[in-house]
Structure 1
Amino acid sequence: MPKAVQLHQYGGLEVLNVEEVLQPTPAAGQVLVRVKAAGINPGEASIRKGVFKDTWPSSFPSGQGSDFAGVVEAVGEGVSSTQPGAEVIGFTHNRASQAQFVVVPQAQVIPKPTNIPWEVAGALFVAGTTAYAAVRAVDVKEGDTVVVSGASGGVGTLAVQLAKLKGARVLGIASPARAEWLAAHGVELVPYGEDLKERLQTAANGALDAFIDTHGQGYVKLAVELGISRERINTIIDFAAAEQYGIKAEGNAVGGRADVLAELVGLIADGQLDVPIAHTYPLDKVQEAYRELATGHTLGKIVLIPGEG
């Protein structure tokens, strides 16, 4: 029997189990994918802890995960867009990708270019479409100066690059340890810490045009204090601050579409977008993977490889 991450209650890392489950069967219009890689995301950790149980409740036992890439194993009646053996990148809305097999509607998979590694393909959907939506929300234009908090995280590393592709100057708030990666991608590091407001103003040498917050913990308030128009401030995480200050909070819920995923895949295949992978873990090390994620100090994405272990 295949294995999948399963939760039987809300809680900490201890509630993450890898269990044998029934083999999924694709219904009409669906595809069954053997998962080669599945990214993990902070939002999944919050859901597992019950942070969003009033908004997005779980029914137990529950699976986990949205991102995946793999090989089509079987297709249901009426599927014409792909066939068994095809390599695909996709997403599920059923918290089910952290598994050896996943079933999704055919519209939720797109072809995987051969030059994109599995771990990159499997890590893309949530972080990539969130970054896409955030950059679009603040209307980044050529010549803008844009600040991105959490610039070395899973979403931040993609947001800074997408803003650069729009022709913006990007100031990335991150640890000094990430200076080399940021510089290699044309991003100017502004280390987090004391006197950040003044240091951002000095680095900008003029007006700051937009702010993308991927970290929370007061960055929305900082953006407002910097005098940035509230129409051009977006957070993907601090929803309370978004309501308090009347700024945007657009992310995966806005950008999470197959056409956006396809656009991002095209940029990666063409060498215009880099998805840094911090570490990969076999499926049965899912607790260790989320433990590393919780440190908040990884560069880019952490990925589960269900076929290993």
Structure 2
Amino acid sequence: MKAVRFSRFGGPEVLEIVDVPDPHPGAGQVRVAVRAAAVNPSDWKKREGLMNGRLPQTMGHEAAGVVDEVGEGVTGVAVGDRVFGLSAEGAAQAELAVLAYYAPIPPSLDFPGAAALPAAIETATRALDQLGVVDGSTLLVNGASGSVGSAAVQLAVVRGARVIGTASPAKHDYLRSLAAEPVVYGEGLVERVRVLAPDGVDLALDVAGSGVLAELIELAGGAEHVITVADFGGAREHGVRFSSGDAGRAVHVLGQIGELIESGRFLPPVTQTFPLAEVAEAHRAGERGHVRGKLVLLIG
């Protein structure tokens, strides 16, 4: 099968489409004929050698496609079903991928839209669970308009929370459409949030990693009420919890998101698509920034 791989670290030019052996699912896993696979910022960090020193490496953690092989003990999913989920080996950007965690694609969602979901909703749900966001909580999301931030906003609103979200002015109408109260990020953030919440907030989630953990701690009344998914150094400096999948993933949300989408309570991210052969250009677009929504590769 064809797959994205690199054999040396560097810029997008090191990415290659190569032939690799077909993977096969283990117990509890499924293999899909991939129709779409997402591209994430971690991909270029990986490509530059900032995350893992081994070579060569395949790419991609999120895929959507059609089941063509099931592992031992799999129930509720059959060959021919449309599913989306998380790759077992970080090898989703390929013609075939093994998914360790998966769920049916909601009927109203296409393959690119489904491929854009898993990492964002898992990260957001994990952080909300760790923070203890419940009905009546007031949550501040720093970086609320991106794929993880917008997922966190919507999933918190579903829980009954009041959500204040930081974003550039151009994204404020979008945040309002998600039932969040927008504020501009940057200097003076504490004062702007206090206009909306004079006593501060109950909890704060940092998705942007923009160096505002001290302000979030002040607004939330202590480091124990703040989590970041983007600022590892700042978390250590300020005593804030850094949320990663190492402590367990919130994969239960994969099976719950379909009902929220079909009932209109969760709006999937916009996608910008590229053919698999243009994976290097997708990386360049992502690294330039200003991408609206999620980058997705089309396969098959």
TM-score higher than 0.5? yes
Distance 2:193 2:152 in 1: 18
- After the TM superposition, which residues 168-187 of structure 1 pair with which residues of structure 2 at under 5 Å, given as runs? 168-187=161-180
Please say which of residues 229-238 and 28-37 is displaced more in the overlay: 28-37
Distance 1:226 1:26 in 2: 47
Aligned counterpart, 2:88 = 93
Cα contact 2:142–2:205 (8 A) shared by 1: yes
Aligned counterpart, 2:43 = 44
Please say which of residues 86-95 and 128-137 is displaced more in the overlay: 86-95
- SS of residue paired to 1:164: helix
- SS of residue paired to 1:244: helix
Deviation at 1:291, TM superposition (A): 2.2
Please say which of residues 145-154 and 289-298 is displaced more in the overlay: 289-298
Aligned counterpart, 1:206 = 199
**Does 2:276 correspond to 1:283?**
yes
Residue type matched to 1:144 in 2? S
Aligned length: 300
Distance 1:77 1:159 in 2: 34
Deviation at 1:238, TM superposition (A): 0.8
Residue type matched to 1:95 in 2? G
CA offset digits 1:179-198 (Å, max 9, x no partner)? 22111111121112332222
**Does 2:117 correspond to 1:124?**
yes
CA offset digits 1:125-171 (Å, max 9, x no partner)? 11110000111222223333221111111100101111111222211
Cα contact 1:152–1:298 (8 A) shared by 2: no
**Does 2:221 correspond to 1:222?**
no
Change (3 A) 1:51 1:221: farther
Distance 1:189 1:304 in 2: 31
- SS of residue paired to 1:120: helix
Aligned counterpart, 2:33 = 34
TM-score (norm 1): 0.88
Distance 2:74 2:99 in 1: 11
Distance 1:204 1:298 in 2: 31
CA RMSD of aligned residues (A): 2.2
Deviation at 1:266, TM superposition (A): 3.0
Choose which of 26, 29, 54 in structure 2 pairs with 1:59: 54
CA offset digits 1:68-122 (Å, max 9, x no partner)? 11001233566544332111112113110011111245xx232223222211211
- SS of residue paired to 1:155: helix
Residue type matched to 1:235 in 2? T
Distance 1:249 1:276 in 2: 24
Change (3 A) 1:78 1:224: closer
Distance 1:285 1:121 in 2: 20
Q: Please, which runs of 5 or more residues in structure 1 have no aligned partner?
A: none
- SS of residue paired to 1:208: coil
Please say which of residues 129-138 and 109-118 is displaced more in the overlay: 109-118
Distance 2:130 2:74 in 1: 34
Q: Please, which runs of 5 or more residues in structure 2 have no aligned partner?
A: none
Deviation at 1:10, TM superposition (A): 2.2
Deviation at 1:63, TM superposition (A): 0.7
Cα contact 1:213–1:237 (8 A) shared by 2: yes
Distance 2:56 2:114 in 1: 27
Distance 1:168 1:76 in 2: 39
**Does 2:248 correspond to 1:248?**
no
Moved beyond 6 Å, runs of 4+: none
Distance 2:272 2:198 in 1: 37
Aligned counterpart, 2:64 = 69
| Aligned residues with identical type, % of pairs | 39
Residue type matched to 2:277 in 1? D
Deviation at 1:251, TM superposition (A): 4.0
